[in-house]
Chain A
Amino acid sequence: MDHFTPVSALIGGLLIGVSAAWLLVLNGRIAGISGILGGLLPPARGETGWRMAFLAGLFAAPLVYVAFGGELPSVDLDASIPVLVAAGLIVGFGTRLGAGCTSGHGVCGIGRGSPRSLVATGIFMASAIATVFLTRHVLGM
């Protein structure tokens, strides 16, 4: 477990929690990424501004991090194009059908004690773990 990074994980997690608490206490909204992005497809009157602003904040984060002297992790995506497309389609469709992703159900929903979010998080964690098991240890991808 040499790759285990509990301290940075906890600090990052606290920041994500502050973001969710911030949006709820100030704007009265749930910081669910799939919901915020999906709510723009199609855009509704009076609902686009704050959603675009939140997404702009997400996009700005790496720039701000570097500006304050942070070193961005090097990210590799070695999945093939067909796998990327399939995974993207499934993630987009699944998160909207299930009304939430890791943030909306996982962080906000569980923080609220929502039974729907608890069940959804248990299910997507289980199916993700099963998928990784299949691809890595059975199919050897």
Chain B
Amino acid sequence: MRLIISAFASGLLFGLGLIVSQMVDPAKVLGFLDIFGNWDPSLAFVMGGAVAVSALGTLVAKRRGVPVLAPRLDIPTRRDLDPRLIGGAALFGIGWGLVGLCPGPALVNLTFGPWQAFVFVAAMVIGMAAVHLVPSAWPQIPFRRETAGADG
């Protein structure tokens, strides 16, 4: 139960941060992405503040070793770059640039934003579920000779 309340509080803080920083407004986000137009650097300040505190949190979490409420830390450990990461990020950027919504702001907009937010989120959920249609071994690009050797 404590894990649930704690997660709710974290989500609430996240949503409040998106509202206070106006990142829930796609026009504000597009203003940042439009570096060749009337550029609005605000998003960089949001990221700067968020990354700084998040880095501090990582430091504390790692020093403690064990989370306060959970049995263990669940942190990604992969360090390699693969085609899924690169292709996925490139695709995400295209969708983000088209409308100015990334997942967090899109979800917060469901409560107070325009009805179009529902259209975006419905499509986003379908897109997320569709990832399971991609075979986990694809795309397989052998970076090393040993990997290629597996197929003869």
The residues of A with any CB-CB pair to B shorter than 8 Å are 1, 3-6, 8-31, 33-34, 37-38, 41-42, 49-51, 53-65, 70, 72-77, 79, 81, 83-103, 105-116, 119-121, 123-133, 135-137
Contact with A along B27-44 (1 / 0, CB 8 A): 110110111111111111
12 contacts between A and B (CB under 8 A): A8-B21, A25-B64, A57-B8, A72-B112, A76-B114, A88-B120, A88-B127, A90-B92, A98-B89, A124-B93, A127-B92, A131-B96
B14 x A19 contact (CB < 8 A): yes
The residues of B with any CB-CB pair to A shorter than 8 Å are 3-28, 30-31, 33-58, 60-61, 64, 66-76, 78-81, 84-99, 101-104, 106-114, 116-117, 119-132, 134
Within the assembled complex, what's the spacing in Å between the Cα atoms of A37 and B107?
Answer: 10
B48 x A79 contact (CB < 8 A): no
User: Is chain B's binding surface mostly helix, strand, loop or mixed?
Assistant: helix
Most chain B CB within 10 A, of A13, A20, A38, A55, is at A13
Name the residue of chain A whose CB is nearest to the CB of B69: A26
A75 x B103 contact (CB < 8 A): no
Q: CB-CB < 8 A to B81: which residues of A? A: 115-116, 119
B42 x A125 contact (CB < 8 A): no
